[in-house]
Structure 1
Amino acid sequence: MDLAFLHPLYEHSGPWASVYVDTSRHTESTPHERRLTAAAMARQLAEQGADEATCRAVETAIDELRRSGEPHGRALFARAGEVVLDPPLARPPQGDHAEWAPLPRVTPLLELAGQDPVCLVAYVDRRGADLELRSGLGRREAGTVTGRQYPIHRTSSADWSERHFQLKVENTWEHNAGEIAGHVSACQEETGADLIVLVGDDRERRAVHERLPQRLRDRVVEASHGAGSRLLDEDVESARAEHTRRRAEAERERFLAARAPDGEGRAGAVEDVPALVEAAREHRIDELLIRADGPDTHREVWIGEDADQLAVRRTELKTLGEQNSWAARADDALIRSAVTTDAPVLVLPPESEETPVGGLGALLRWK
């Protein structure tokens, strides 16, 4: 998962308020309930030592959600009296909660907002295609592809002139499939969609699939719906869930294979906190893997003001020349390092096998 959107959270030092609010319930009393939630979250932060200005900013932001129609929830990250980031959630959190800590509490956000792949759906027929984007936050139109409109339909005659006409029809179909594939490829590159679902008759789907660039082949799913049909939400959810499961399993297997040392005695993956801290300090994390229920995620490490100021023991930071230090959760500290070095993060599902051990691991870069 690309975490570039989290950069604002690491441009300033903490402490930070991290708040998760469930907005999935909508009744006549919702405005009143949101006001109560706003007050409760501000009170929780104050009890943990948050400054008054930040508590007030969080309370105001939650209170402003009282008329929101958001279907799932909202995360808020605030410091120094300002809400810096407030992304919507793709799934409701398990209850409203607030934390005040040296670093933003981001792992729950990756579980609730970021893991669900964005899906580009192409409804394909012989004349063109309609595109839409689907995610846990809903759907939106993504454009229309209009190919050649004539000739489209075959005839039943077998004489020479008609066979010539049939060839023109075939050429039209092939041309339109290429046009659709080009637009799908461009739309995926522009939107960063994780998954492409092709909907339509078998021949049209296959023709577009075959013309997509190689880099997209493992992102494509063909839906067994006829031309003119529209995917139901449960169809999209099923495709997205399967894509997430397959990717997590592939990355887990890649991680397992990379743990063995190479010819120079260097492992391509590590999974214990001291080794991860060392890799983060040296900017060698290529991809961070987190299993949120793992015991190492909440293990205490020590951080300085910069992302590479990270140690298992406080005395190590002083040795590195850092005078100011704070205790932080290992997952929060490693996510900060990943974000600032542009390394992706993958949150493994709870039902995945217990790898990496402890719940934290990383694939490494050596160049």
Structure 2
Amino acid sequence: MQLSFLDRLYEQPGPWASVYLDTSRDIDDPDKAIALRWRHLRDDLVAGGADAATVDALADAAGADREVAGRHGQALFATRGRLVLVEELPEPPPRDVARFGPLPHALPVAVQYAPDIPYTAIVLERLVPPDADGAEEVVVEVESGRWPMSRALPGPSDLLRVAVEDWRLELPGIVRRLAELAGQADAEAIVVGADPGNERLQGALVNRLSARVPHGRRVVRSVAPTDPTPSPPESGRALLEQELSGLLTGRLRESDHERLERYQAQRARRPDTSEGMSAVVTALQRGQADTVLLNDPPRLPSPLFVGTEPGQIASTPGELEAFRSSTIREEDAGDALLWSTVGTGAQLTVVPQDTLALRDGVGTLLRHA
């Protein structure tokens, strides 16, 4: 995936205060719980040497995402008294974290972005509007986003309405509009859901839409739940969130799947320069890493050593002496690896452990294999 959303973290020097905070709102008195969590993290930052202005900048944003519903979290980054980046996380962090150091602790948010699959969700309903004098309408709700980040912050949406008796006549135009919206989103998956009893409408829409979208794009018919009392979708969350989770969790986006195939072919020929931390570090040093592959969940050997430039990264301090860097410091392996990946223009592909286990949890697709 592209890492341009992290550029601002590496365009200026630190030190950086990095915070991962559970800001879920599916509990009693969430504001009190979030305030307590933030207080502990604030104390950790102060104990780690963070200046008061930087801590205050974070305090203004911590837990301020009250409009975001359900389970979620925040990733916040600040330096020199200025809040630089706030990202809403589709899942709360496994534990609240606060770090203060030369590099931003950004790997967890990068992992949560993956697989970053563009999608379009569509739901059909038949209902009688309050002002329609008993006349039924078919309402088509459509929403696009990128999985999984759109779970907590849904993307743009639209509503299409047509009288039931006009459904067949208007269906070609509706399909044309839905295909246009999915194309604008570059959707790799299109999921169509419907309320029970509307399966015929759903089937007609799926058949026509499948014939209209580009080859290779999937149009999936969401099956109504068999549970007679299913939990209703949570307000403020992504349309068809549960269905999308079942379809997209564990998958890779098309471009990452293609990179993974190229990587596997490369590894078969050159395993020593393709897999493991040593191979990845060497490729980053030489500017040869097209893509860094990272297993999820990340379990990286630590630490790494860095100099002043993104290509100055090594497993031992001695390796960096050849770069004549004015500074050599020890860093968390994940922080160093991501800093070097972004700084050398490489991309990141997060690969589930079950899909492909990598030695040391990392591999690299080379630019000049």
- Normalising by structure 2, we get a TM-score of 0.74
Other structure's SS at 2:268 match: coil
Paired residue for 1:212?
213
1:246 matched to 2:246? The reply is: no
Segment of structure 1 superposing worse, 249-258 or 40-49: 249-258
Q: Pick from 284, 304, 315 the counterpart of residue 280 of structure 1.
A: 284
Cα 1:26–1:222 change in 2 (3 A) is closer
Q: How does 1:193-212 map to 2 (within 5 A)?
A: 193=187, 195-199=189-193, 201-212=202-213
Matched pairs, number: 333
- Normalising by structure 1, we get a TM-score of 0.75
1:290 matched to 2:294? The reply is: yes
1:336 matched to 2:330? The reply is: no
Shift of residue 74, structure 1, vs aligned partner = 0.9
Question: Does the 8 Å contact 2:175/2:208 carry over to 1?
Answer: yes
1:120-147 superposed Cα distances (whole Å, 9 cap, x missing partner): 213479x995421352214355235689
Q: Pick from 164, 178, 191 the counterpart of residue 180 of structure 1.
A: 178
Q: Give 1:363's aligned amino acid.
A: L
Q: How does 1:97-246 map to 2 (within 5 A)?
A: 97-115=97-115, 117=117, 119-123=119-123, 130-133=141-144, 135-144=150-159, 153=168, 177-186=175-184, 188-189=185-186, 193=187, 195-199=189-193, 201-214=202-215, 217-224=216-223, 235-246=240-251
Distance 2:152 2:210 in 1: 27
Cα 1:52–1:325 change in 2 (3 A) is farther
Other structure's SS at 1:259 match: helix
Distance 2:246 2:350 in 1: 14
Q: Pick from 250, 254, 257 the counterpart of residue 265 of structure 2.
A: 257
Shift of residue 277, structure 1, vs aligned partner = 1.1
Q: Give 1:185's aligned amino acid.
A: G
Cα 1:31–1:180 change in 2 (3 A) is closer
Shift of residue 85, structure 1, vs aligned partner = 0.8
Q: How does 1:33-112 map to 2 (within 5 A)?
A: 33-62=33-62, 65=64, 71=70, 72-112=72-112
1:287-326 superposed Cα distances (whole Å, 9 cap, x missing partner): 222224454x242111123222222222332312321122
1:54-90 superposed Cα distances (whole Å, 9 cap, x missing partner): 233333433x639665532211112222221111111
Other structure's SS at 1:65 match: coil
Question: Does the 8 Å contact 1:124/1:204 carry over to 2?
Answer: no
Distance 1:179 1:298 in 2: 50
Task: Give ranges in structure 2 of 5+ residues lacking alignment.
Answer: 126-137, 194-200, 225-231
Cα 1:195–1:104 change in 2 (3 A) is farther
Q: Percent of counterpart pairs with the same letter?
A: 28
Question: Does the 8 Å contact 2:273/2:279 carry over to 1?
Answer: no
1:318 matched to 2:321? The reply is: yes
Shift of residue 267, structure 1, vs aligned partner = 6.3
Structural RMSD (CA): 3.8
Shift of residue 8, structure 1, vs aligned partner = 0.7
Distance 1:212 1:66 in 2: 36
The structure whose residues are more often helix, as a share, is: 1
1:237-296 superposed Cα distances (whole Å, 9 cap, x missing partner): 3433432323289565654333022xxxx669712212101211233322222224454x
Distance 1:146 1:344 in 2: 42
Question: Does the 8 Å contact 1:77/1:86 carry over to 2?
Answer: yes
Distance 1:333 1:289 in 2: 15
Other structure's SS at 1:260 match: helix
Distance 1:94 1:319 in 2: 39
Other structure's SS at 1:120 match: strand
Shift of residue 17, structure 1, vs aligned partner = 1.6
Distance 1:184 1:145 in 2: 14
